[in-house]
Amino acid sequence: MKNNKKIKWGIIGLGNIANQFAADLLLLQDAELFAVASRNNSKATEFAKKYHCPKSYDSYEALFTDDQVDIVYIATPHDSHAELSIQALENGKHVLCEKPLALSYKDVARMIEVSKKNNKFFMEAFWTRFIPSVKEILEKVNQGIIGDIKYVKADFAFYADEKEGGRLFDKNLGGGALFDIGVYPLFLSYIILGIPKEILAKSIYNSNGIDLQTSMILQYENAQSVLHASISSESDMKATISGTLGHIQLNAPWYIADGYSVFKEKETAFSLPNLGRGYTHEALECHNCIKNNQIESKLWSHQNSLELSKIVEGIKKQIGLDI
Ligand SMILES: NC(=O)c1ccc[n+]([C@@H]2O[C@H](COP(=O)([O-])OP(=O)(O)OC[C@H]3O[C@@H](n4cnc5c(N)ncnc54)[C@H](OP(=O)(O)O)[C@@H]3O)[C@@H](O)[C@H]2O)c1
């Protein structure tokens, strides 16, 4: 691919996150929102009109076979990520797939295999990895600015009304707190401390077997993480990383922090606004990788997705989640 060519994006599954992502793509000079697909034709047409997109399709398959689409963004519920990513990759498309990549480690491994076989870029849309605050705190932690890390505290919680239904409360779509938002605090613990030696976790379920809230302790050789995810109450959504020389606090909500503070005797605050809603940063990472003929990102690699998925499997086992 020539370096000066605009990257042509296709989006499938035109719900909440697809809207946010599309709005962010419009902010990027070297991105073109070229095609969108929905299971519903009028929804696709309206979405295309709203975001000045030239093509719309009434099936995901039709978008996969559009020769002009470079990369497909998969914005459907979790349960369909694996099969749709594989289909797109088999059709020669690069793929950015929403988190969590799949509901099992086995499926994540399968998706990555297909990316390698087809030599196409593939990445989990872990947007938080690419926002300026997270990139910068990770560098500081690795430089030892707050000493040896002993403790990570992170949560992701909001109240969702069960009466309104939707994918969060639908087991067939991979609903519940762990898969939807629990992956965020797990992600933070993983990028700071790596793979835990031991996992403890407990959940509160509704009568349909949806985990409404899940609390987790990750035990490392010399550190611990205390993590929480809930769709039944709110939380402050600050994240703290504590070391032997001080601590860092990501501004709330930490998963899209617009800055952070380092506490060492006194507080020093850093302001790092995100571009747009924050999805621009992951899209730019896709562009860089595609232009450099990389099939994976160095910042959020295939191995990172595999390892995070293995940790999620560990939590699933602990809480007895049968999704
Ligand atoms: N990165 C983030 O910040 C972020 C935020 C929210 C969600 N997400 C992830 O993005 C994915 C989608 O979440 P969302 O909140 O956008 O969901 P949503 O609003 O329910 O939209 C999902 C879309 O997927 C399509 N779809 C395909 N099969 C479906 C089915 N069986 N049931 C319902 N919809 C189906 C529908 O689009 P069509 O009708 O157009 O085909 C639907 O509009 C999830 O995996 C979630 O984890 C990420």
Tens digits of pLDDT across the chain (323 residues): 545 689 999 999 999 999 999 999 999 999 999 999 999 999 999 999 999 999 999 999 999 999 999 999 999 999 999 999 999 999 999 999 999 999 999 999 999 999 999 999 999 999 999 999 999 999 999 999 999 999 999 999 999 999 999 999 999 999 999 999 999 999 999 999 999 999 999 999 999 999 999 999 999 999 999 999 999 999 999 999 999 999 999 999 999 999 999 999 999 999 999 999 999 999 999 999 999 999 999 999 999 999 999 999 999 999 999 98
Nearest CA among 31, 37, 75, 76 for reference residue 56: 37
- Ligand 1 within 6 A of CB of 281: no
User: Which ligand 1 atom minimizes the distance to the CA of 47?
Assistant: 40
257 is written with which tokens? 């922090």
What is the residue with the minimal CA distance to atom 18 of ligand 1? 15
Backbone phi, psi, residue 47, to 5°: -60, -45
CA of 210 to the centre of ligand 1 (A): 17
User: Which ligand 1 atom minimizes the distance to the CA of 76?
Assistant: 24
Q: How far is CA 204 from CA 207, 226, 241, in A?
A: 10, 17, 26
Place of tokens 């399709």: 57
Residues 144/147/148/150 CA torsion (nearest 10 deg): -130
Q: Are 82 and 111 in contact (CB under 8 A)?
A: yes
- Ligand 1 within 6 A of CB of 40: yes
CA dist., res. 12 & res. 294, Å (int):
23
CA of 81 to the centre of ligand 1 (A): 10
- Ligand 1 within 6 A of CB of 39: yes
What is the residue with the minimal CA distance to atom 5 of ligand 1? 17
CA of 246 to the centre of ligand 1 (A): 39
CA of 13 to the centre of ligand 1 (A): 6
**How deeply is 286 buried, as exposed, middle or buried, from its count of CB atoms within 10 A (0-12, 13-18, 19+)?**
buried
Residue 159 is classified by DSSP as: B
- Ligand 1 within 6 A of CB of 173: yes
Q: Would you say the C-alpha torsion 150, 282, 72, 46 has a positive or negative sign?
A: positive
Place of tokens 């999704």: 323
- Ligand 1 within 6 A of CB of 167: yes
120 three-state secondary structure: coil
Residues 49/287/57/97 CA torsion (nearest 10 deg): -120
User: Which ligand 1 atom minimizes the distance to the CA of 44?
Assistant: 40
Diameter over CA atoms, the chain: 59
Q: Are 51 and 26 in contact (CB under 8 A)?
A: yes
- Ligand 1 within 6 A of CB of 13: yes
The overall pTM is greater than 0.85: yes
- Ligand 1 within 6 A of CB of 177: no
